[in-house]
Amino acid sequence: MVQPMCLFFLISTLSCLRRVRDLCRVLQLPSTFEDTAVAYYQKAYQHPGIRAARVQKKEVLVGCCVLITCRQHNWPLTMGTICTLLYADLDMFSGTYMQIVKLLGLDVPSLCLADLVKTYCSSIRRKLAASKLECSQGARTACPSLADCSSPWALRHDPHFDYFSFKLFQASPSMPAKFMEDKEKMLSRTLQLVELADETWLVTGRHPLPVITAAAFLAWQSLQPSARLTCSLARFCKLANVDLPYPASSRLQELLAVLLRMAEQLAWLQVLKLDKRSVVKHISDLLQHRHTLIRKAFREGPSGVEAPAEELWGRGQGQEEVGNGSSDLPKGKRPASPALLLPPCMLKPPKRVCPTPPASTVTGDEDISDSEIEQYLRTPQEVRDFQRAQAAKRAATSSPNPP
């Protein structure tokens, strides 16, 4: 006879395994992915800590197994996507993800930025619409989660929330012709801009999506600058039907500063009064020669301990031309000396200077004076006052509200 608890665990496991398969189908992953993700889930479920975990954690674990499978097959899928599909909190997801990677002893490769760019610029809205239609017409066995919009596992079908699509590649009544763009051209240029951002330390240690959004925006603007320079980043994201990540504006400014710095090294651009708007028109030239321009425009940072910390941002503070600053160049000035090629966090001055603490002479066995200890003790009068205050507070909280 099956014990009730065993039966409960069995039902719970089967339910979650079904959800793993559902999630793979929603994401339209190959069937081999499903088997791998299910295997991971089964293996994880053998651990008592996972078996006894709450339902929310088990549901998040479904997403973790799918994500790990996708990463191992170089299938770009962000944690944000999984969290959105599962209505999961990113903090819980990250904790479960780290736990399961350690528990199962898995090697999970990093997310490939180039693949993520391709995904960002691709549109699968038509396919999503088709699968929704298919389900609504009765093919519910294919994708049960899609069919049941009321269940927590349903993919959100609201077209206003169709963040998988990138509408700039499709003609529509709401999309002016001047804003439409060829997908391959945009993809190629976005990739180059993301590579540029990576080479100039704008990607490492940061969430990838804001960088990609900023790069996509610049790529799109530069392909038809005359018509698109007036379009802001926020409007671009709205037109493209993608979310505007909060840091994307900062990434955009940083990328523009890098491009401006590179433009100073091009002979035919030195005479122009370039600023952050006009430099967009010359992005194609800058990208064409970017490796050389980066070498000319930037110099390596200080080599380790030989240079004191002050050199890093002391110079950056004092000289206008140093660093990836956002200020415009003075008119008619000669090209500036190469700026330091460092991550932005190293170029900004520290918010507060932490002086090195003096060498401690504490031995741990010093005498402890009574007076020092007594300063931490309440006097009898203070004790009585504190007790009176506590009693008053209890009386206030326990008394009913007056009508």
Q: Is 168 in the site for another protein (CB under 8 A)?
A: no
Grouping H, G, I as helix, E, B as strand and the rest as coil, residue 230 is: coil
- Cβ atoms within 10 Å of 311's Cβ, excluding its own: 13
Q: Is 338 in the site for another protein (CB under 8 A)?
A: no
Closest by alpha carbon to 163, among 236, 243, 234?
243
Shortest Å distance, C-beta 220 to another protein: 17
Among 387, 389, 391, 392, binds another protein (CB under 8 A): 387
Shortest Å distance, C-beta 382 to another protein: 7
Binding mask 62-91 for another protein (x = CB under 8 A): ------xxx-xxxxxxxxxxxxx--xxxx-
Shortest Å distance, C-beta 209 to another protein: 5
Q: Give the span between the Cα atoms of 113 and 100, in whole angstroms.
A: 24
Within residues 217-276, the interface with another protein by CB under 8 A covers 243-248
**Are residues 143 and 25 in contact, defined by beta-carbon separation less than 8 angstroms?**
yes
Grouping H, G, I as helix, E, B as strand and the rest as coil, residue 294 is: helix
Among 351, 355, 374, 397, binds another protein (CB under 8 A): 374
Within residues 1-40, the interface with another protein by CB under 8 A covers 27-30, 36, 40
**Nearest to another protein of 139, 307 (CB atom):** 307
**Nearest to another protein of 42, 94 (CB atom):** 94
Q: Is 186 in the site for another protein (CB under 8 A)?
A: no
Q: Is 54 in the site for another protein (CB under 8 A)?
A: no
**Nearest to another protein of 246, 268 (CB atom):** 246
Shortest Å distance, C-beta 400 to another protein: 21
DSSP string for residues in 303-363: -GGGS-HHHHHHHHHH-TTSSS--PPPPTTPPPPPPEEE--HHHHSPPSS--PPPPPP---
Apex CA 332: angle with CA 339 and CA 326, to 5°? 40
Shortest Å distance, C-beta 352 to another protein: 15
Name the one range near another protein by CB under 8 A: 10-18, 56-64, 206-214, 279-287. 206-214
Shortest Å distance, C-beta 222 to another protein: 22
**Rg of the Cα trace of the chain?**
29
Shortest Å distance, C-beta 273 to another protein: 30
Q: Is 357 in the site for another protein (CB under 8 A)?
A: yes
**Nearest to another protein of 6, 345 (CB atom):** 345
**Nearest to another protein of 182, 328 (CB atom):** 182
**Nearest to another protein of 48, 357 (CB atom):** 357
| Helical residues (DSSP H) of 125-247, grouped into ranges | 125-136, 144-147, 183-199, 208-223, 225-228, 233-240
Name the one range near another protein by CB under 8 A: 6-14, 156-164, 260-268, 269-277. 156-164
Q: Give the span between the Cα atoms of 69 and 38, in whole angstroms.
A: 10
Alpha carbon distances (Å) from 302 to 299, 346, 352: 9, 11, 21
Instruction: Note the residue count of the chain.
Output: 403
Among 10, 106, 133, 272, binds another protein (CB under 8 A): 106
Alpha carbon distances (Å) from 308 to 139, 243, 313, 325, 342: 67, 42, 10, 21, 15
Cα end-to-end span (Å), the chain: 59
Shortest Å distance, C-beta 299 to another protein: 10
Name the one range near another protein by CB under 8 A: 4-12, 48-56, 114-122, 266-274. 114-122
The helix (run of H) or strand (run of E) holding residue 298 is strand 298-300
Using a 10 angstrom Cβ sphere, with 0-12 exposed, 13-18 middle and 19 or more buried, the burial of residue 386 is: exposed
Among 9, 132, 164, 249, binds another protein (CB under 8 A): 164
Please work out the total of residues on this chain that contact another protein, with binding judged by CB under 8 A: 106
Shortest Å distance, C-beta 73 to another protein: 4
Q: Give the span between the Cα atoms of 337 and 314, in whole angstroms.
A: 16
Largest CA distance in the chain: 89
Within residues 269-328, the interface with another protein by CB under 8 A covers 300-305, 307, 309, 312
Q: Is 372 in the site for another protein (CB under 8 A)?
A: yes
